Amino acid sequence: MSQWLTVWRAAHLVGVSRGVLQQRVRSGELAISDGLVSTEALLRLYPQAQLEDGGASEQVAQIKEQAFGRRVRERLLPSQEVLAQRMFRQSQELADLRRHLQRYHALVLELRDAARAQAEAAPGDAALQRLANQATTGLARVLATESVDRLDAMDDMLKVMCAQVTVRPSGHQFSVEGHDTLLQAGLRAGLKLNYGCGNGSCGMCKVRVIDGAVARVQHCDYPLSEAEKVQGYTLMCAHTPASSELTIETLEAGGPQDIAPQQILATLRELRTLAPDTRLLHVQTPRSHRLRFLAGQSVTLGLGGDGGDDLHATLPVASCPCDDRNLHFLVARTDDAFARRVFAGGLKPGTPIDLWGPQGDFVLEGGERPLVFAACDLGFAPVKSLIEHALARDEAPSLALFWLATRPDGHFMANQCRAWSAALDGFEHQLSYHSDPAAGARQMAEAMRADLFDIACDFYLAGPEPFVQTLYEALRAGGVAAGQIHSEVCP
């Protein structure tokens, strides 16, 4: 008998991204009803998800391999307490279902016996006889032994291993795996959740639980009022789902205007050489004061100068908001005082760094169109943040990166691009060189057309002004709407 699953859970069961499954829904390959997918239709589209019969241990191994794939193999199990609560709630659901089935079974038997008695009392009534026979044969079909629906078994395991959270009123969904809190899992999934300290002190991540249960897994000092407790409020930073499905109510940031300016005293974690004239600056915030920002935004960094003067630079964050404590920045060797200090060799781990921000509106827009990213030189920094955020959101059916290098350092993170392409079916990249940013942009536009990237994509451009302006004009001339092109001018 076919069961109905959410698109999110169906994608997890067959081991594809949600964006890929949604694309197949839009193309008509997979039918959907009220936002749900039937297991029967899913198996027709992905027959490899049907497991073969085998022993219990073999089935468990196959379920773990095929249902969860790369996503879960390296994940930790939830804590014993959380697992116990989830299994207990499933046992309650099973007990309720068994009780209802017993009552329905008793009701059908009663109706069958009544139909038989009526048929015997009126032997000439063919309609009553047919009704009695229908009740008997129908009950036999229901009680007949049928093969187990493998996707149902996989879904039951997934509910214990990995909880599904739905956010209202946005309707966004994300999964919580291992020991993650609601906040950690939501940020990793690319949601723009409201939070502050991240350690249970400020109360800014307070949400209302509408359906399901939570368990506390982290210490928290923020005191909820008795009225808030009665209404179901909890802190995302300190709790994880105790049920396989959880619905919470909270507002999410709609864009940069919803992110408050912050000032944080952070420290230098690492200064790494990526190329002779390019450094990666790894800055770490305190546990009690993390930077809330959107992928693609910039932050102003402040260093104490050798002569007592503060040195400042505004740089795009080159890492994902899902790790809000560890911020990466790319610094090029220039005549700027901040860059000279970075390349002078005097900065050591533990050096204090002031952060102000975030700033900028070069962020991912909502939607499910394919994404095309174009970067020139250190324009790769905000693009890298956007790509990591897009991968976390798991909504775009495909991603493509075009990276132009005009500096001698070339593509200083080419290994990262190759890793994305190797690990992700829906990701491809193209690296190019040219000494002139504008001429390189024109060549890039030709390469995009040659690779059949049509106008039904969202484009994100970052780099020096000649590169951004030239590529923007080429895309507009090719028929791409202005609203589908997002750009950021950076050195």
Cα dihedral value 83, 89, 95, 96, nearest 10: -160
For residue 88, the number of C-alpha atoms closer than 13 Å in the C-beta half-sphere is: 9
CA distance 440 to 54: 57
Instruction: Give the tokens for residue 344.
Output: 């002078």
3-state DSSP helix/strand/coil percent for the chain, to nearest 5? Answer: 40, 25, 35
Could you tell me the sign of the dihedral formed by the alpha carbons of 59, 60, 61, 62, in that order?
A: positive
CA distance 1 to 40: 8
CA distance 432 to 440: 8
The helix (run of H) or strand (run of E) holding residue 420 is helix 414-423
> What pLDDT is recorded for position 154?
60
Contacts of 103 (CB under 8 A, 6+ apart): none
Provide the 3-class DSSP secondary structure of residue 465. helix
Helix 150-161 × helix 7-14 angle, to 10°: 100
Amino acid, single-letter form, for residue 435: S
> What pLDDT is recorded for position 10?
78
Residue ranges in the chain whose pLDDT is less than 70: 1-2, 8, 12, 17-19, 34-35, 48-77, 80, 142-160, 305-309, 451-454
CA distance 66 to 56: 15
Return the DSSP state at 396: -
pTM (2 decimals)? 0.73
CA distance 267 to 354: 8
Provide the 3-class DSSP secondary structure of residue 223. coil
CA distance 89 to 212: 9
Q: Where are the domains of the chain?
A: 4-73, 80-156, 164-254, 257-359, 371-489
- 194-226 CB burial, b ≥16 within 10 A, e <16: bbbbbbbbbbbbbbebeebebbebbebebeeee
Q: Which CATH architecture has domain 371-489?
A: 3-Layer(aba) Sandwich (3.40)
Measured CA angle at 396 (ends 394, 399), to 5 deg:
105
- Kindly report the CATH number that applies to the domain delimited by 257-359: 2.40.30.10
> What pLDDT is recorded for position 39?
79
Phi-psi region of 197 (alpha: psi -120 to 50; beta: other; left: phi over 0): alpha
User: Which residues is 388 bridged to in the sheet?
Assistant: none
Provide the 3-class DSSP secondary structure of residue 24. helix
Amino acid, single-letter form, for residue 468: V
Q: Tell the residue number behind the tokens 């085998």, with chain if given.
A: 54
Q: Which CATH architecture has domain 164-254?
A: Roll (3.10)
DSSP structure string for 119-147:
HHHSTT-HHHHHHHHHHHHHHHHHHS---
